[in-house]
Amino acid sequence: QSTLVLVEHTNEALLPVTLNAVTAARKVGGETVALVAGTQCAAAAKVVSKIDGISKVLVADHESFKGFMPEVMAPLVVAAHKQFSFTHITAGSGAFSKNILPRVAALLDVAPLSDVIEIKSPDTFVRTIYAGNAVCTIKSNDSVKIFIARGTAFEPAEVGSSEVPVNEAPDGDMSLGSLSKWIGQSLSKSERPELASAKRVISGGRGMKNGDNFKLLYDLADKIGDTAVGASRAAVDAGFVANDMQVGQTGKIVAPELYIAVGISGAIQHLAGMKDSKVIVAINKDPEAPIFQVADYGLVEDLFKAVPAMTEKL
Amino acid sequence: MAARVLVACKRVIDYAVKIRVKPDKTGVVTDGVKHSMNPFDEIAVEEAIRLKEKKICEEIIVVSCGPDKCQETLRTALAMGADRAVHVNVKQGDYEKLQPLAVAKLLAKVAEKESVKLVLVGKQAIDDDSNQTGQMTAALLNWPQGMFASEVTFSGDDSVEVVREVDGGLETVSLKMPAVLSADLRLNEPRYATLPNIMKAKKKPMVKLSPEELGVDIKPHFEVVSVEAPTGREAGSKVESVDELLSKLKEKGVL
Q: What is the ipTM, given to two decimal places?
A: 0.95
- Amino acid in position A176: L
Helix (H) or strand (E) holding A289: none
Quick one: pLDDT at residue A250?
79
**Cα within 13 Å of Cα(A241), Cβ side:** 25
Q: How far is B203 from chain A (nearest CA, A)?
A: 34
CB-based contact B225 A112, cutoff 8 Å: no
A74 neighbors A45 (Cβ within 8 angstroms) = no
- For residue B162, which residues of chain A lie inside 8 Å, CB to CB? none
pLDDT tens for A204-216 read 999 999 999 999 9
Quick one: pLDDT at residue B95?
96
Rounded distance between C-alpha atoms, residue B177 and residue B159, angstroms: 5
| Residue A165 neighbours by CB distance under 10 Å | 9
- For residue A227, which residues of chain B lie inside 8 Å, CB to CB? none
Quick one: pLDDT at residue A192?
81
pLDDT band (50, 70, 90) for residue B231: confident
pLDDT tens for B183-199 read 999 899 999 999 999 99
CB-based contact A103 B138, cutoff 8 Å: yes
Torsion from C-alpha of A250, A252, A258, A261, nearest 10 degrees: -40
pLDDT tens for B45-98 read 999 999 999 999 999 999 999 999 999 999 999 999 999 999 999 999 999 999
Quick one: pLDDT at residue A213?
97
- For residue A184, which residues of chain B lie inside 8 Å, CB to CB? 171-172
Integer-rounded Cα radius of gyration of chain A: 21
Q: What percent of chain A has pLDDT over 90?
A: 90
Specify the length of chain A in residues: 314
Quick one: pLDDT at residue A71?
98
User: Is residue A190 pLDDT above 80, yes or no?
Assistant: no
pLDDT tens for B154-174 read 988 799 999 999 988 899 999
Quick one: pLDDT at residue B2?
59
User: How buried is B99 (Cβ within 10 angstroms: 0-12 exposed, 13-18 middle, 19+ buried)?
Assistant: buried
Q: Count A/B contacts: CB-CB distance under 8 Å.
A: 243
What is each CA distance from A299 to A207, A213, A280, A311, in whole angstroms? 14, 19, 11, 15
DSSP symbols for A146-159 = EEEE-GGGSPPPPB
The beta-carbon neighbor of A300 closest among B104, B173, B238 is: B238
User: Is residue B232 pLDDT above 80, yes or no?
Assistant: no
Quick one: pLDDT at residue B1?
58
The beta-carbon neighbor of A112 closest among B132, B148, B186 is: B132
pLDDT tens for A248-268 read 987 888 999 999 999 999 998
pLDDT band (50, 70, 90) for residue B238: very high
Quick one: pLDDT at residue B195?
95
